[in-house]
Amino acid sequence: MSSNVILQEKGPEAEQDLGTLLIYMPALNEEASIARVIASLPTSLPGFSTVEVLVVDDGSTDATARLAREAGAFVVSHRENKGVGGAFQTAAKEALRMKAAVLVSIDADGQFDPAQIPSLVAPIVAGKSDFAIGNRFETTEKPDNMPFIKFAGNHAVNSIVSKVANTPISDASCGFRAYSREALFNLNLMGHFTYTHETIIDLAQKGFNPAQVPVAVRYFDGRVSRVAHNLSRYAFQSLKIIIRSLRDHKPFAFFASIALGVFVLGLLGGAFVGWHWMSTGSVSPYKSFGFISLSLVIIAQIFLVLALLADMLGRIRTNQERLLYFSKKAHYDR
- How far is C-alpha 121 from the geometric centre of its chain's CA atoms? 18
Give the lowest-confidence range in 33-37, 143-147, 219-223: 219-223
Q: Regarding beta strands 74-78 and 131-135, do their DSSP bridges make them parallel or antiparallel, or are they unpaired?
A: unpaired
Whole-number Å distance between alpha carbons of 222 and 111: 13
Q: Which residues of 31-69 are buried (b: 16+ CB within 10 A; e: fewer)?
A: bebbbebbeebeeebebbeebbbbbbbbbbeeebbebbe
Higher per-residue pLDDT: 28 or 233 = 28
Whole-number Å distance between alpha carbons of 329 and 104: 20
Q: Regarding beta strands 211-214 and 177-180, do their DSSP bridges make them parallel or antiparallel, or are they unpaired?
A: unpaired
Q: What residues contact residue 51 under an 8 Å CB cut-off, 6+ apart? A: 20, 21, 23, 41, 42, 43, 44, 45
pLDDT, one tens digit per residue, over 59-75 is 999 999 999 999 999 99
pLDDT, one tens digit per residue, over 260-314 is 999 999 999 999 999 988 989 888 888 898 899 999 999 999 999 999 999 999 8
CA-based nearest residue to 307, from 247, 261, 264? 247
Element (H, E) at 270: helix 251-280
pLDDT attached to residue 222: 55
pLDDT attached to residue 6: 42
pLDDT attached to residue 5: 41
Q: What is the mean pLDDT of the chain?
A: 87
* Cα separation of the two ends of the chain: 18
- 135 DSSP β-pair partners: 214
Average pLDDT of the segment spanning 207-229: 75
User: Does pLDDT of 153 surpass 60?
Assistant: yes
The DSSP call for residue 116 is: G
Q: What residues contact residue 98 under an 8 Å CB cut-off, 6+ apart? A: 20, 22, 52, 54
3 state DSSP class of 200? helix
pLDDT attached to residue 190: 79
Q: For a pLDDT cut of 90, what percent of the chain falls above it?
A: 61
Whole-number Å distance between alpha carbons of 4 and 207: 5
Q: Name the band, by pLDDT with cuts 50, 70 and 90, for residue 112.
A: very high
pLDDT, one tens digit per residue, over 224-255 is 555 555 667 767 777 887 888 888 888 999 99
pLDDT attached to residue 308: 95
